[in-house]
Amino acid sequence: MYNTIKINAGDGGWGGPLTVTPTEKCHTVLSVTGGGIHPIAQKLADLSGGVAVDGWKTNLPDDEIMIAVVDCGGTARCGVYPKKGIFTVNLMPVGQSGPLAQFITPDIYVSSVREQDIEVLGEAADVPETKAAPAAEEAAPAAEEAAAAAAPAQKQGFVVRLGKGVGSVVGKFFQAGRETIEMVIKNVLPFMAFTSTLLGIISASGLGNLIAKTIAPLCGTLPGMLVICLICSLPFLSPILGPGAVIAQVVGTLLGAQFATGAIPAKYALPALFAIDGQVGADFVPVGLSLGEAEPETIEYGVPAVLFSRIVTGPLAVIIAFIFSIGMF
């Protein structure tokens, strides 16, 4: 028996509420949260009567995914599924963020969801079925308009064609400029504010000296950086460290301050960058394979293959960066 459920945004969340009705074909809750089925994903499946699936181990056609559950801190993953017209539940308190922010809308996306934010409205037969994907419903009118626009028209003169061509180019540049400004305002400026605040706290609290004494011995030597990279690249840790790029942002900011004060030699800046980035993108592996329309078997073997490969490629990247940094400073 299927139930229609309502998903509200939690404290600090954004979007929604979403009203979702499972169908015989579309009743799967896809959990893409660093491996395993997250309790929220299981709760959504239990209350709706659907099935929870680990997105790290398998892949499904888009029209069979009822809800995608992610834990993205504001990068590409939170916008991938909304772009594909799939209801998306983000466990992090993130709104319209990332390079796909224009696809994140309140009618298909909700964030900071907890178990108490999910409620059952009634049996699926008692509630009008919700559209599976807002983008799909809009596709038919858009297709009709496109067909009408493509209808044969009268012969146009050279000047008219030239004017339309120039207008098209100008329009694309204008749109690119607008999207660039939006991305700077929504992503770059908040990160700059975060970095400034963090540096201020480090300087005022004396945390910088503590970091220098604890991290400097590791980041000040090649073996130490290899140890940091190996820890960040461990297959069971990298998908957890990846969301929000916490290690890369926080530790990178701390190390930057130490390089600036001379506590750590500047020649280690390049290899240190690769040392703390060993986990970057690990949380995006199943999503990336899904975007590439990989087969379920490819997902099953591809995800662990990529994660385990980081143990080799991560330290190797640190060594290569160390070699290229010789003589730079």
Between helix 207-219 and helix 189-205 the angle, nearest 10°, is: 100
Q: What angle do CA 189, 193, 197 make, to 5 degrees?
A: 170
C-alpha dihedral, 264 to 240 to 249 to 321, nearest 10°: 50
Classified as helix, coil or strand, 121 is strand
Interatomic CA distance for residues 191 and 92, integer angstroms: 17
Of 103, 22, 106, 94, give the one whose Cα is nearest residue 65. 22
Task: State the Cα–Cα distance between residues 139 and 142, nearest whole angstrom.
Answer: 5
Contact (Cβ atoms closer than 8 angstroms) between residue 38 and residue 13: no
Question: Can you tell me whether residue 154 is helix, strand or coil?
Answer: coil
Half-sphere CA count of 248, side-chain side, radius 13 A: 18
CA 145 to chain centre: 33
Distance between CA atoms of 42 and 46, rounded to whole angstroms? 6
Chain centroid, CA 295 distance in Å: 21
Q: Which of 24, 26, 28, 21 is nearest to 7 (CA)?
A: 21
Smallest Cα–Cα separation from 80: which of 104, 59, 96? 104
Amino acid letter, 294: A
* Residues classed as catalytic: 72
Tokens 């299981």 -> residue: 42
